[in-house]
Structures are given as C-alpha cells and as structure tokens.
C-alpha cells in the first residue's frame, strides 16, 4: 500500500510538472511566432522604406539628366546633347508611374510624394518648352525663358521637397533598425527559454519511460490473467450459444414438421367436407329447398376459406425456414414478370402500372416476387368504384444512419384508409373491411412484412382515406441473410 501511494503521488507530481512545461512550451511557441511575425513586418517595412528612398533618388537623377541635356543644347546647339535629355524624359514617364505606387508608413508622406510628382511634372514641362523653342530656331526666346530663373526656382523647390521626404524616410528607417535590434534580442531570449523547457520535458519523458518500464511487467501479467479469464468466459458463452443454436435449429425443424403435419391433417377433413358438399349439391339439389341449398353453399365457402387460411398461415411460417439464399435479383425484370402473372386482373380492372428504372438487389427472388404480387394485387383489389387504378412503383437510394438503403415505393389511387390503422394492416388476419366487400384472408401484408424483415429491412404505409396508399420498402444495400438459426445462409 505505501508503494502504491508513493507511485500515485509521483505520477501526480510529474503530471503536474509536465502540464506546466507543456504550458510554458505553448507560451514560448506563441512568443516565437509573434517574434517571427514582428521580424517579418519590420523587415518588410525596411524594404519598403529603402524602395521609397531609391525611387526618389532615381526620380531626382532623371530630372538632373534632363536638365543637363537641355542646358547643354541651349548653350552649344549641338544635337548630341539632346540624347541624354530625350532618354531621361522617356525613363521619367515610367519612373513617375512607379513613384505613384509607393505607399509610405510615415504620416502624410503619401501627400508629400504626390506634391513632389506635381513639381516634377511642372519642371518637365518647363524643360520641354525651352527645348521646343530652341528646336524652332527661337534660341533667344528660349534663353530668355531660362534667364527668368523660373526653372531654377522650380528645381530648388523640387529638391527641397525631395530632401525633406528622404530625411523623413531615413529617420523612419533608423527607427525600424532600432526596433529590429530589440526584436532580435527578444527572439534570442524566447528561443533560449524554449530550449530549456524542451530539455526539461525530455528529462520528464525519460523519467516516465523508466517508471513505465518498471511497472510494465506487473501490468502485463495482470492483463494476461484478465485475458485468460475473459477467454474462459468467451469459451463458456460460445458453448452456451452453440447449445442454444442447436436447440433453436431442432425447434425450427420440429415446428416445420408440425406445420406440415398440421396443414395436411387439417386439409384432409376440409377436402372431405368440400367433396361431400359437392355431392350433396349435385345429387340432391332437387330434394333441397332454397334454405338447404344456401346452407350447402355456406359450408363450401367456409371450407374453402379455411383451406386458404391454412395455406397462408403455412406460407407465413415458412418465410424464414424455407427461404432461399440471396442472389443478385434484377428487380426490373422481376416486377415485369410479376405484372405478367396477374395480367388478367390488370386487364379486368383497367389498371395502369408505371415503373421507374429499378436496380439489381441482393435478395430472395421468389420472396420478392411474392412481395410485389401482394402489393400490386392489393392496389388493384382496393380500388375506388368507377376509377381505373394507377399504380406507381418508384426507386431511389438513400443514406440512413451512415448506411446505404434501397428505397422502393408502391403508390396507388385506391380507397386508402385512416392513418391510425397503418400498423394494424400488417398484423395477421387483421382486416379493415368485411369479407363481403373484399375477398382475402387478411394475411397478405403480414407475409409482405415478414419477407422485408427477412431481408434486413422494413415496410411502412401512409394513406389518406379516399385518396390512396403508399407503401415504402427499405432494404439495406449490403444486407446479409441471417436465418432463424443464426446461420449465414449466403455463405453456403
């Protein structure tokens, strides 16, 4: 117990220290990132200031070059002096464009640069005017214009503005250099602290690694013991499930045998009742009055209904035990075949069936055939008087709970029913109408639900009385057939 307590305290203390170190590293990381950003911003500002000073100097040099060429030509009238003048003017246009793009961080510096550009343009115009006069053989007027001193005064004003802008930019650059030095010192401190805390963290991890190595053997033995106990429990549970599965298989076989014997033994008396009823009706019809003949007809109808009930009940019980393995079933072809099987009912009712493009699904083909015969026959049977049935079968694929599902809907324009009875219609032998109105045993939809559930899906109905019914069938795309014994029949 004391060793355990000591271990718990050690884990707690080192956990606290590790948390502190991690927090310090995160803080240092934040400071390092901020320092890098400050360095980057300061360097960008220095580059910008250098660009401004350089562009201003280039502008000044071009103005000087143009003025030198102008004065040389005016004094000597030698055309060679016009070459530097013209080159300077050509470059000056691009230089003005570059200078206009400058954005200084010094307050009101942008306005000063704009004013400088105006002075440059004025000076350029003055140079162009004098040269144009000289080229037009009006040297005296050109010299007189120069001697007025207007160009010299304009240059002085331009130079003064230019020097002031440069001084402000140089002062700003010196300030940025001071900031850069401070940021560099802070970066060195930040990275030093980060290195120290990282070293402490490595030491802490080394300590924990050593501590874990000592306790690993102990915990491994405990884990092996627990795994052995768990394996024994799993083996025992597996044995129980195997016994249960065998018992369930035996029970299903007995149920199947019972269903067969029961159906055979029950059908035999019914066959005799129907046979003797036919004989009475054939041989003694003249000896029976109207009431006796009615009794015989009722007896035969009851026997036939009982036979149908037994057959339907037997079929209902065999959905899971006599079902076939799943295969790829082309649903389009299957439903078209189903429509062909009930062609007479469709022609007599004038029914119209509209089909979507239907896919292949993994299913029991015979049971799918039975399912759609039930649904289409119901839609025809429960039609409105003097209204031709319209049955629409549609398909789509949806994702429900992160799983892909086939969604098939069968919609009709029949008599419909109250929505409160939506669950009742799937219960065996439950009817919403009298047998005199609509024939049937009342087990067709129960069989349909059993078929869909065997395919891992579900069926539901929505209806409005007098407007029709829609059945929605949902079957998983990747369904696996599991019969009542728990056996995967797809693996067979």
What is the biggest distance separating any 2 CA atoms in the chain, rounded to whole angstroms? 156
Q: Is residue 445 part of a domain?
A: yes
What domain range includes position 375?
326-491
Other CB atoms within a 10 A radius of the CB of residue 57 amount to 12
Arithmetic mean of pLDDT over the chain:
78
pLDDT recorded at residue 430: 64
Per the structure, the count of domains in the chain is 2
What band does 3 get if pLDDT is binned at 50, 70 and 90? very low
pLDDT band per the 50, 70, 90 thresholds, residue 79: confident
Which comes out higher in pLDDT, residue 258 or 270? 270
Helix 109-135 / helix 82-100 crossing angle, nearest 10 deg = 160
> Is 233 inside a domain boundary?
no
Work out the pLDDT band at 460, boundaries 50, 70, 90: very high
Do 197 and 335 fall into the same domain?
Answer: no
Mean pLDDT of 156-163: 82
The Cα–Cα gap between 156 and 63 comes to 12
Most confident of 101-115, 224-238, 258-272, 348-362: 348-362
- 488 pLDDT band, cuts 50/70/90, is very low
pLDDT at 153 over 60: yes
What integer pLDDT is reported at residue 484 of this predicted model?
39
- CA-closest candidate to residue 146, choices 74, 194, 82: 74
**Which domain-ending residue is among 193, 214, 235?**
214
Query: Are 346 and 484 within one domain?
Result: yes
Q: What is the mean pLDDT of residues 45-52?
A: 82
Cα separation of 414 and 389, whole Å?
7
| Structural domain includes residue 314 | no
199: domain CATH number? 1.20.120.1730
State the pLDDT at residue 441: 62
- Residue 21 sits in the same domain as residue 170: yes
Poorest-confidence range of 3-17, 217-231, 302-316, 332-346?
Answer: 3-17
How do residues 279-337 score in pLDDT, each as one tens digit?
877 887 777 788 777 877 877 777 776 776 666 666 666 666 667 889 999 999 999 99
> Residue 265 and residue 288: Cα distance in Å, rounded?
31
**For the purposes of burial, counting CB atoms within 10 Å of the CB of 376, is it exposed (0-12), middle (13-18) or buried (19 or more)?**
buried
User: Which of 152, 180, 214 delimits the end of a domain?
Assistant: 214
Strands 458-464 and 468-476: antiparallel
How distant, in Å, are the alpha carbons of 63, 67, 89, 128, 154 from that of 125? 11, 11, 10, 5, 11
What token pair was written down for 100?
């206009």
What pLDDT is stored for residue 315 in this prediction? 65
pLDDT in tens, 365-417: 988 998 999 899 989 988 988 899 999 999 999 998 889 999 999 999 999 98
Whether residue 465 lies inside any domain: the answer is: yes
The answer as to whether 21 is a domain residue is yes
With 90 as the cut, is the pLDDT of residue 47 above it?
no
Determine the pLDDT at residue 410: 95
Q: What is the pLDDT of residue 6?
A: 43
More confident residue, 217 or 483: 217
- Can you give the CATH number for the domain in which 448 is found? 3.30.565.10
Co-location of 62 and 210 in the same domain:
yes
Residues 6+ apart with CB under 8 A from 406: 359, 361, 395, 397, 457, 473, 474, 475, 476, 477
- The average pLDDT across 423-442 equals 67
Cα 484 to Cα 216: distance, rounded to the nearest angstrom: 46
DSSP 163-175: HHHHHHHHHHHHH
| 20 belongs to a structural domain | yes
Mean pLDDT of 182-194: 75
Higher pLDDT, 245 or 103: 103
Mean pLDDT, residues 173-195? 78
Helices and strands in the chain, H and E counts: 10, 7
- The mean per-residue pLDDT over the stretch 30-45 comes to 78
Q: Is the pLDDT assigned to residue 434 strictly greater than 60?
A: no
Residue closest to 88 by CA, chosen among 110, 117, 58: 58
Which of 214, 229, 256 delimits the end of a domain?
214
Mean pLDDT, residues 454-481: 89
Question: Which pLDDT score is estimated for 252?
Answer: 62
Q: Is residue 30 domain-resident?
A: yes
CA distances from 25 to 17, 34, 190 (A): 12, 14, 10
Q: Give the H/E segment covering residue 327.
A: strand 327-330
Beta bridge partner(s), residue 473: 408, 459
**56 exposure class (CB count in 10 Å sphere: 0-12, 13-18, 19+):** buried
Closest CA to 409 of 461, 360, 337: 461
Q: With respect to residue 77, please indicate whether it lies within any of the assigned structural domains.
A: yes
The larger pLDDT score, comparing residue 168 to residue 22, is at: 168
Summarize the confidence of residues 8-34 as an average pLDDT: 66
- CB-based contacts of 89: which residues, under 8 Å, 6+ apart? 66, 124, 127, 128
């Amino acid at each position: 117990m004391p060793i355990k307590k000591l271990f718990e305290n050690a884990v707690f203390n080192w956990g606290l220290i590790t948390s502190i170190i991690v927090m310090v590293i995160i803080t240092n990381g934040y400071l390092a990132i901020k320092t890098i950003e400050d360095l980057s911003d300061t360097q960008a500002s220095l580059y910008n200031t250098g660009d401004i000073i350089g562009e201003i100097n280039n502008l000044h040099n071009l103005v000087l070059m143009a003025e030198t060429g102008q004065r040389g030509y005016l004094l000597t009238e030698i055309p060679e002096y016009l070459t530097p003048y013209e080159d300077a003017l050509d470059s000056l246009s691009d230089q003005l464009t570059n200078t206009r793009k400058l954005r200084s961080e010094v307050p009101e510096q942008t306005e000063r640069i704009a004013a400088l550009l105006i002075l440059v343009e004025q000076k350029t115009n003055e140079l162009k005017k004098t040269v144009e006069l000289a080229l037009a053989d009006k040297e005296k007027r050109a010299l007189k214009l120069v001697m007025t001193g207007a160009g010299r005064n304009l240059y002085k004003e331009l130079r003064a503005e230019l020097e002031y802008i440069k001084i402000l930019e140089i002062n700003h650059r010196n300030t940025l250099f001071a900031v850069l030095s401070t940021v560099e010192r802070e970066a060195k401190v930040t990275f030093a602290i980060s290195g120290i805390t990282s070293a402490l963290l490595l030491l802490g991890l080394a300590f924990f690694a050593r501590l874990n190595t000592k306790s690993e053997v102990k915990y491994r033995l405990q884990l092996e013991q627990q795994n052995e106990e768990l394996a024994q429990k799993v083996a025992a549970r597996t044995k129980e499930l195997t016994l249960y599965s065998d018992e369930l298989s035996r029970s299903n076989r007995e149920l199947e045998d019972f269903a067969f014997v029961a159906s055979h033994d029950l059908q035999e008396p019914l066959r005799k009742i129907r046979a003797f009823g036919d004989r009475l009706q054939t041989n003694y019809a003249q000896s029976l009055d109207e009431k006796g003949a009615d009794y015989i007809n009722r007896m035969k109808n009851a026997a036939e209904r009982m036979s149908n009930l037994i057959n339907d009940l037997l079929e209902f019980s065999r959905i899971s035990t006599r079902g076939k393995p799943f295969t790829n079933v082309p649903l389009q072809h299957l439903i078209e075949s189903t429509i062909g099987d009930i062609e007479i009912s469709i022609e007599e009712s004038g029914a119209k069936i509209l089909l979507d493009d239907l896919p292949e699904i993994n299913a029991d083909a015979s049971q799918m055939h039975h399912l759609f015969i039930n649904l289409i026959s119901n839609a025809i049977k429960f039609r409105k008087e003097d209204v031709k049935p319209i049955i629409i079968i549609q398909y789509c694929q949806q994702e429900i709970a992160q799983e892909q599902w086939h969604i098939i809907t069968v919609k009709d324009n029949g008599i419909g029913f109250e929505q409160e009875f939506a669950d009742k219609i799937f219960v065996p032998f439950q009817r919403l109408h009298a047998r005199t109105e609509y024939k049937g045993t009342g087990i067709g939809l129960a069989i349909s639900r059993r078929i869909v559930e065997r395919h891992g899906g579900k069926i539901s109905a929505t209806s409005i009385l007098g407007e029709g019914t829609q059945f929605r069938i949902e079957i998983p795309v990747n369904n696996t057939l599991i019969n009542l014994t728990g056996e995967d029949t797809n693996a067979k």
